[in-house]
């Protein structure tokens, strides 16, 4: 026994089904339908393209539901009266509930079929034909007024002309056809076209050959040959093909470029041809269908005589056979477009180019900066050496009194000796050995004076900074010789305590002496106020594993701790007539020798300045930089 609940559920379901059915019926009644009848199979590439063009055009008519049905006659596999009867019955019975408003017949066999059977199938329904070739296999006869369409014309000659332009050395044209009646039609068409070829081009037909023989012949074709094919349905050894598959096989086996008759051949290895484009045919038929659905009378349609054929190429093939992109007319269809290097790598190239540009700019800027630095460094060295020179002149000024004294002494001695000699001459005293002694004294004093002048001249000479091996103790001894007179003048004891010799360093002897003189003159100033007994300055040198030290110590007033940080600053001076350049120049000189200048001072007790300089290495070199710890 059924439950009442089950009955309640079943009733609304029944109502829903009724609604759905009535809804479906309403769509069918309000919409118009188009029946597209193809002469061959569903997946034939040409059909797929026609279908795409047709549907995109019909469906693009907005606001008006149009249902598109498709049927396939499956030619050439299925033909004959019996088959046609079956198809007619099938179509009539199938579409009795959905009579089409327009029929589209795609390709010649389909048009012929519709013309033969439309009265019993769909009487009075207008027919639009598409992809029907106007002269092939036979001219399209006069059609009834309500059968309209734009026929397609082949341009075999156009394709061959274009191919010969691209391959001007061609001396042989090979046509490939098959063995079905349809294939034989193509062969006939090719033969009539071939008669118009230029005389130097020989013609060869590979018609209805078994696949092996065909493949072999195609493979051995020489470079001046071109192949032309419409594909074929059947080979000489009874193998079945679609034209496109046959074209693909021909292109694959051929050693030379292959041109063809259909746009659907593009992508199989065929270069291309001046071909009708199936999608365009579909769109054109779609436009006519739309006009008819809109109520236009078929006979009033103004249609072109035939569809426009377009040069269509596969760019992979044009490039493979050396056809330059610029030789392809601008209005050609170029399929399988190969992106240029720029298109593929644009982003990478832009980034790379940017990086390179940036890098170049950076390198240029760095080089400029480097040059500027070198120039600035050069100027700095120049200024430094000028400053050092000026400071030496200042030192000479400070030493004037003592130097004058030092020169005066031998000059006075020379004068005294000369006078003594004169007196001896006047008195008639003839003592050659005494005269000899006097002359020897004069010579010695003269040498002493000129020695002082020579030392002074070498200190004051303007010279380029030298970098040569020098012995520190020797340089110090010479420097102190210049200071001895000054020390004596100031009643200061200048004690030189050289460390173990040799103390080889690399540098400029004059500049090292300049540092010594600066430090000693400062020390002299510092001890100036002390009682004579404590006016001692000690100049010493010492050797360490890889450097040497020159120290100048005094027991003077020392340096106030607050002055220490500014001690080496230019123009820092605590003296009333001080310039404040001595220590700053000395430090520059020492650092230019990769050395360092240190100070230890105790106010009231004294000061020691240490000059550390890297030693000359055993291999004869000296460091340009030294890491002092
Ligand atoms: P200047 O001698 O013209 O003053 P420097 O640069 O040679 O210039 O010296 C700077 C200052 O350092 C001096 O004014 C002085 O105050 C201080 N100084 C340098 N050497 C000594 C020293 N041995 N003892 C005490 N003070 C010193």
Q: How far, CA to CA in Å, does 435 sit from each of 30, 47, 432?
A: 155, 140, 5
pLDDT at position 428 is 80
| CB-ligand 1 contact for 2 (6 Å cutoff) | no
Single out the residue of 570, 509, 552, 522 nearest to residue 387, CA to CA.
Answer: 570
Dmax over Cα atoms in the chain, in whole Å?
183
Ligand 1 atom at minimal distance to the Cα of residue 563: 16
pLDDT category, 62, cuts 50, 70, 90?
Answer: low
229 CA from centroid of ligand 1 (Å): 107
The number of angstroms, rounded, from the C-alpha of 338 to the middle of its chain's C-alpha atoms is: 22
**CB 559 less than 6 A from any atom of ligand 1:** yes
Convert the pLDDT of each residue in 293-349 to its tens digit.
Answer: 988 999 899 999 888 889 999 999 999 999 999 999 999 999 998 887 788 888 898
How far is 611 from 628, CA to CA, in rounded Å?
Answer: 12
Distance 389 CA to ligand 1 centre (A): 19
Region 253-275: mean pLDDT is 94
Tell me if 333 sits within 8 A of 312, measured CB to CB. Answer: yes
Strands 596-602 and 536-543: unpaired
Cα of 628 vs centre of ligand 1, distance in Å, is 24
Indicate if ligand 1 lies below 6 Å from the C-beta of 526. Answer: yes
Q: Is 570 in the pocket of ligand 1 (CB under 6 A)?
A: no
Q: Which of 552, 583, 611 to mutate to test the pocket of ligand 1 (most atoms within 8 A of CB)?
A: 583
Could you tell me the pLDDT band of residue 25, with boundaries at 50, 70 and 90?
very low
Distance 563 CA to ligand 1 centre (A): 10
| Cα 529 to ligand 1 centroid, rounded to whole Å | 15
CA of 488 to the centre of ligand 1 (A): 21
Q: State the average pLDDT over residues 356-371.
A: 94
Q: Separation of 607 CA from ligand 1 center, angstroms?
A: 10
For the Cβ of 520 lying below 6 angstroms from any atom of ligand 1, the answer is no
pLDDT at 178: 96
From the CA of 583, give the closest atom in ligand 1: 6
Q: What does each C-alpha distance from 86 to 69, 73, 78 come to in angstroms?
A: 19, 11, 11
Task: Output the six-digit token pair for 308.
Answer: 């426009």
Q: Whose CA is nearest to atom 14 of ligand 1?
A: 573
CB 96 within 8 A of CB 328: no
Q: How is residue 270 annotated by DSSP? A: B
Residue 68 pLDDT grade (very low, low, confident, very high; cuts 50, 70, 90):
very high
Q: How far is the CA of 522 from the centre of ligand 1 (A)?
A: 5
Protein residue with its CA nearest to atom 22 in ligand 1: 523
Closest listed residue to residue 457, CA positions, set 410, 510, 507: 510
In degrees and rounded to multiples of 5, residue 105 shows phi and psi of -105, 115
Ligand 1 pocket residue status of 574, Cβ below 6 Å: yes
> In this predicted model, what pLDDT tens digit does every residue of 409-457 receive, in sequence order?
889 999 998 998 888 888 887 778 888 888 999 999 899 888 888 877 7
Nearest atom of ligand 1 to the alpha carbon of 518: 7
Pocket test for ligand 1, best of 517, 578, 609 (most atoms within 8 A of CB): 578
Instruction: Decide: 236 and 253 in contact? Cβ < 8 Å.
Output: no
Phi, psi for residue 329 in degrees, rounded to 5: -55, 150
Phi, psi for residue 175 in degrees, rounded to 5: -105, 135
pLDDT at 4: 43
* Backbone φ and ψ of 286, nearest 5°: -60, -40
* CA-closest candidate to residue 121, choices 38, 213, 212, 37: 37
pLDDT on residue 136 = 65
pLDDT, tens digit (0-9, with 9 covering 90-100), for 319-331: 999 999 999 999 9
Report the nearest-CA residue for atom 7 of ligand 1: 582
For residue 27, pLDDT beyond 60: no
Q: Return the DSSP state at 3.
A: -
Task: For residue 405, give every residue at least 6 positions away whose Cβ sits within 8 Å of its Cβ, in sequence order, or none.
Answer: 485, 489
Nearest to 509 by CA among 461, 467, 453: 467
Q: How much is the pTM?
A: 0.48
The one-character DSSP state at 240 is B
pLDDT at 202: 96
Distance 582 CA to ligand 1 centre (A): 8
- The pLDDT assigned to 64 comes to 67
DSSP per residue, 206-236: EES--HHHHHHHHHT--TTEEEEE---SB-T
Q: List pLDDT tens digits, range 541-583.
A: 999 988 999 999 999 999 999 999 999 998 899 998 888 888 9
What tens digit of pLDDT does each residue of 147-170 get?
999 998 888 899 999 999 999 999
Is residue 579 in contact with ligand 1, taking CB distance under 6 Å? Answer: yes
- Taking CA atoms only, the protein residue closest to ligand 1 atom 10 is 573
Report the relative pairing of strands 147-149 and 127-130 from DSSP bridges.
parallel
- 441 Cβ inside 6 Å of ligand 1: no
Ligand 1 atom closest to the CA of 577, numbered from 1: 3
Q: Which atom of ligand 1 is nearest to the CA of 522?
A: 20
> Looking at residue 22, what is its pLDDT?
36
pLDDT of residue 457: 78
Best of 521, 573, 605, 611 for a ligand 1 pocket test (most atoms within 8 Å of beta carbon): 573
**Would you say the CB of residue 504 lies under 6 angstroms from ligand 1?**
no
Question: Is residue 34 lining ligand 1, measured as CB closer than 6 Å?
Answer: no
Which of 255-269, 380-394, 414-428 is the most confident on average? 255-269
Q: Please state the atom number of ligand 1 nearest to the C-alpha of residue 572.
A: 10
Q: Is 597 in the pocket of ligand 1 (CB under 6 A)?
A: no
Q: Is 606 in the pocket of ligand 1 (CB under 6 A)?
A: no
Is residue 278 exposed (0-12), middle (13-18) or buried (19+ Cβ within 10 Å)?
buried
What is the per-residue pLDDT across 525-545, written as a single tens digit (0 to 9) for each? Answer: 999 999 988 899 999 999 998
Look at residue 360 in the predicted model and tell me its pLDDT.
Answer: 95
Nearest-CA residue for atom 18 of ligand 1: 522
Give, as one character, the DSSP assignment of residue 152.
B
Q: How far is the CA of 614 from the centre of ligand 1 (A)?
A: 25
Ligand 1 atom at minimal distance to the Cα of residue 557: 25
> Residue 299, CB half-sphere, CA atoms under 13 Å: how many?
5
């Amino acid at each position: 026994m059924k439950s009442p609940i089950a009955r309640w559920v079943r009733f609304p379901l029944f109502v829903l089904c009724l609604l759905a059915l009535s809804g479906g019926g309403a769509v069918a009644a309000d919409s118009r339908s188009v029946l597209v009848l193809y002469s061959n199979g569903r997946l034939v590439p040409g059909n797929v393209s026609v279908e795409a063009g047709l549907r995109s055009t019909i469906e693009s008519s907005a606001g008006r539901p149009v249902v598109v049905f498709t049927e396939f006659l499956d030619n050439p596999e299925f033909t004959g009266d019996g088959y046609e009867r079956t198809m007619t019955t099938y179509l009539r019975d199938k579409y009795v509930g959905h009579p089409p408003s327009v029929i589209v017949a795609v390709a010649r066999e389909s048009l012929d079929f519709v013309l033969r059977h439309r009265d019993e199938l769909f009487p009075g329904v207008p027919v639009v034909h598409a992809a029907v070739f106007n002269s092939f296999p036979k001219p399209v006869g006069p059609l009834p007024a309500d059968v309209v369409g734009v026929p397609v014309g082949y341009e075999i000659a156009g394709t061959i002309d274009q191919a010969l332009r691209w391959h001007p050395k061609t001396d042989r044209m090979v046509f490939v056809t098959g063995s079905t009646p349809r294939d034989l039609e193509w062969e006939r068409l090719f033969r009539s076209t071939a008669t118009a070829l230029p005389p130097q081009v020989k013609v060869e037909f590979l018609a209805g050959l078994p696949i092996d023989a065909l493949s072999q012949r195609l493979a051995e074709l020489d470079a001046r040959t071109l192949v032309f094919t419409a594909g074929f349905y059947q080979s000489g050894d009874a193998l079945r093909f679609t034209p496109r598959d046959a074209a693909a096989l021909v292109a694959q086996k051929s050693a030379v470029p292959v041109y063809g008759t259909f746009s659907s051949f593009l992508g199989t290895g065929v270069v291309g041809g001046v071909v009708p484009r199936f999608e365009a045919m579909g769109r054109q038929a779609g436009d006519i269908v739309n006009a008819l659905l809109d109520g236009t009378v078929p006979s009033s349609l103004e249609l072109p005589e035939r569809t426009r054929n377009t040069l269509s190429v596969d760019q992979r093939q044009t490039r493979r056979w050396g056809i330059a992109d610029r030789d392809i007319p601008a209005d050609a269809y170029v399929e399988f477009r190969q992106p240029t290097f720029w298109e593929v790598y644009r982003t990478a190239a832009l980034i790379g180019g940017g990086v390179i540009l940036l890098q170049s700019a950076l390198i240029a800027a760095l080089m400029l900066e480097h040059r500027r630095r070198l120039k600035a460094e050069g100027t700095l060295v120049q200024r430094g050496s000028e400053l050092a020179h000026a400071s030496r002149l200042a030192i000479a000024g400070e030493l004037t009194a003592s130097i004058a004294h030092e020169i005066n002494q031998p000059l006075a001695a020379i004068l005294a000796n000369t006078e003594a000699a004169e007196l001896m001459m006047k008195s008639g005293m003839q003592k050659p050995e005494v005269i000899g002694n006097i002359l020897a004294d004069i010579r010695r004093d003269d040498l002493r004076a000129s020695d002082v002048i020579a030392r002074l001249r070498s200190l004051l000479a303007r010279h380029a900074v030298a970098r040569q091996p020098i012995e520190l103790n020797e340089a110090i001894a010479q420097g102190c010789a210049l200071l001895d007179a000054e020390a004596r003048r100031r009643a200061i004891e200048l004690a030189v305590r050289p460390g173990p010799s040799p103390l080889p360093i690399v540098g400029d002897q004059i500049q090292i002496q300049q540092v010594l003189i600066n430090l000693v003159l400062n020390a002299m100033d510092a001890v100036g106020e002390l009682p004579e007994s404590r006016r001692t300055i000690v100049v010493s040198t010492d050797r360490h594993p890889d450097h040497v030290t020159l120290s100048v110590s005094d027991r003077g007033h020392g340096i106030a701790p607050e002055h220490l940080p500014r001690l080496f600053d230019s123009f820092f001076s605590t003296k009333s007539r001080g310039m404040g350049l001595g220590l700053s120049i000395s430090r520059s000189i020492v650092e230019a020798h990769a050395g360092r200048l240190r100070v230890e001072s105790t106010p009231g007790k004294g000061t020691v300045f240490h000059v550390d300089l890297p030693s000359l290495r055993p291999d004869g070199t000296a460091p340009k930089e030294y890491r002092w710890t």
